[in-house]
């Protein structure tokens, strides 16, 4: 399932990968990612939303040249879990 949302672009920030040790003592490694920060403007106010984007995503290149507070429309994959929903940005709608 997919959906779209309109936002004000704020910034795209790269987060370095790393590792940590979980409670069982296992070392968990994670890759570099980008955090996409946008503002969602609703009738109840403005809410900052942060989405994780993989470094190999086709969204990275166009977002790196997007100016802050530009209106953008994002398309998302919607994944339903037992007690939550995950939205993953997949493209910018033109």
82 lies in a domain?
A: yes
- In the structure, what pLDDT confidence band is assigned to residue 56 with cuts at 50, 70 and 90? very high
At 31 the pLDDT is 92
Rounded CA gap, 56 and 21, in Å?
26
Per-residue model confidence (pLDDT) at position 72: 96
In 1-94, the DSSP E strands lie at 2-15, 18-21, 27-30, 33-42, 45-54, 71-80, 85-93
Mean pLDDT of 31-58: 94
| Number of domains within the chain | 1
pTM, entire model: 0.84
Average of per-residue pLDDT across 62-84: 95
Q: Which CATH number covers residue 83?
A: 2.40.50
Domain assignment of residue 23, yes or no: no
Domain that holds residue 14: 2-18+29-93
What per-residue confidence (pLDDT) applies to 94?
76
Q: In the structure, what pLDDT confidence band is assigned to residue 21 with cuts at 50, 70 and 90?
A: very high
């Amino acid at each position: 399932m997919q959906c779209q949302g309109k936002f004000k672009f704020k910034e795209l920030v790269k987060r370095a990968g790393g590792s940590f040790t979980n409670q069982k003592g296992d070392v968990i490694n994670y890759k570099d990612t980008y955090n996409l920060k946008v503002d969602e403007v609703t009738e109840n106010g403005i809410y900052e939303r942060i989405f994780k984007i993989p470094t190999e995503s086709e969204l990275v290149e166009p977002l790196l040249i997007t100016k802050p507070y530009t209106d953008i429309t994002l398309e998302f994959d919607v994944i339903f879990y037992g007690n939550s929903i995950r939205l993953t940005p997949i493209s910018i709608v033109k």
